[in-house]
Amino acid sequence: MTTTPPAPSAATGAAVKAADRAHVFHSWSAQGLIDPLPVAGAEGSYFWDYDGNRYLDFSSQLVNTNIGHQHPKVVAAVQEQAAKLCTIAPGFAVDVRSEAARLIAERTPGDLDKIFFTNGGAEAVENAVRMARLHTGRAKVLSAYRSYHGATAAAINLTGDPRRWPSDTASAGVVHFWGPFLYRSPFHAENEAQECERALAHLEATIAFEGPQSIAAIILETIPGTAGIMVPPPGYLAGVREICDRHGIVFILDEVMAGFGRTGHWFAADHFGVTPDLLTFAKGVNSGYVPLGGVAISAEIAATFETRPYPGGLTYSGHPLACASAVATLNAMAEERIVENAAEIGETVIGPALRAMAERHPSVGEVRGLGVFWALDLVRNKETREPLVPYNASGADNAPMAEFAAACKRGGLWPFVNMNRTHAVPACTITAAEAEKGLAILDTALETADAHTV
């Protein structure tokens, strides 16, 4: 039986919102202070509400719809798989799961050829850390300030942003260090080469003082995403790789946000020629059409669990619907040259336009990024680089960013905003015309930020 959906109208939108407020408990929110937009539908680079407002999605939701909304090949693959086999426990061999694993292994760098499936990014991080601890017999894990790794127990404690603070009591075994970030250099470096050298020396010192024999893993986002799309200087990741090798430490790269085309390569690690021991992924692997994440595992770590059991698993690991959507996504990305499109749009449209905005707008302190993965670091003062809003601002303190986001939305653009930054992170499928349209809206909205500069 098919039912005709109610015609989109403001009244339907209001009913959808009221139903949400009645029973849905939202992430990261004070439940009484939120006003979620009721969404009626989505396609390609757009989604829309019940009032007839269409938004150009410059956020890719939570930076996951790399293939855009409602890609017909992915929708069809999920429907076909649902008709064939909706669910089966992880212990069975299933065609669609094996094919998803093969396609992922084929795309990941080096010998990361075994795939452990999870339901998302945080579970991937949890399992990568577990594998590293079991492989090395060591306990500590080093992670960077200005990072995000997920909201489950180990992942939130590895996270290097304020979201960690409320659950900090469980952070035993986690040590934070500073990664490189020249614009706000923790090392007072004057150029990328110096930043790289000092960041590596700082990591070496951290390891020396923590005791290398106690450290199971170092986990880094290849390009820290939520924290500001901070592309590391040349040589940094290769330097970390070398340090890990020297001390027998497992190197985990978290590619949950940067992976699967976002940077204009299949993986951000490809830009740096570095292969980690474990690589965590989620989001872009199937654009989040069905929850999916996982860990790509090196031959050496996989060998640890060849005769000894891996003591971990999830009821929905390698879920058929999720795997079918991954197979269709990865095939469509190759057939339609979607990764190449991300690289080209970044290089020829988004990068040049954002750099021109940095020249014109007193509020744009720095532009960073590549592919469809760009950040504007907004400042009150270009000279001092004082952020437009204080670190972890809320309420009135955050008003300049809230005004900026509201201006984007009024213009028909859905922005990604975090602290004093906005990220231009549209789908990898975005066209040049759509990107130009979004950038023009962003350009106008930045005038609200300019008004707060001193």
Residues contributing to the site for ligand PMP (CB under 6 A): 62, 120-122, 125, 148-150, 221, 225-226, 254, 256-257, 282, 293
Residue among 142 and 282 whose Cβ is closer to ligand PMP: 282
Cα(391)–Cα(187) distance, rounded to whole angstroms?
19
Residue nearest to ligand PMP (CB): 121
Tokens describing residue 229:
């799309």
Residue among 62 and 85 whose Cβ is closer to ligand PMP: 62
**Least gap, CB of 90 to ligand PMP (angstroms):** 18
Residue among 229 and 441 whose Cβ is closer to ligand PMP: 229
Residue among 122 and 132 whose Cβ is closer to ligand PMP: 122
**Least gap, CB of 411 to ligand PMP (angstroms):** 25
At residue 366, what are phi and psi to the nearest 5 degrees? -150, 150
> Which residue in 202, 136, 196, 135 sits closest to 175, CA to CA?
202
Residue among 160 and 293 whose Cβ is closer to ligand PMP: 293
Residue among 155 and 249 whose Cβ is closer to ligand PMP: 155
The CA angle 325-424-28, to the nearest 5 degrees, is 70
Q: Which long-range contacts (CB under 8 A, 24 or more apart) does 302-311 make?
A: 302/113, 302/114, 304/131, 304/134, 304/135, 305/131, 305/134, 310/116, 310/131, 310/134, 311/130, 311/134
| Cα dihedral across residues 16, 21, 27, 31: positive or negative | positive
**Least gap, CB of 175 to ligand PMP (angstroms):** 18
**Least gap, CB of 150 to ligand PMP (angstroms):** 3
β-partners of residue 41 are 48
Tokens describing residue 284:
């872009």
Burial of 422 from C-beta contacts in 10 A (0-12 / 13-18 / 19+): buried
**Least gap, CB of 453 to ligand PMP (angstroms):** 30
Residue among 64 and 398 whose Cβ is closer to ligand PMP: 64
**Least gap, CB of 148 to ligand PMP (angstroms):** 5
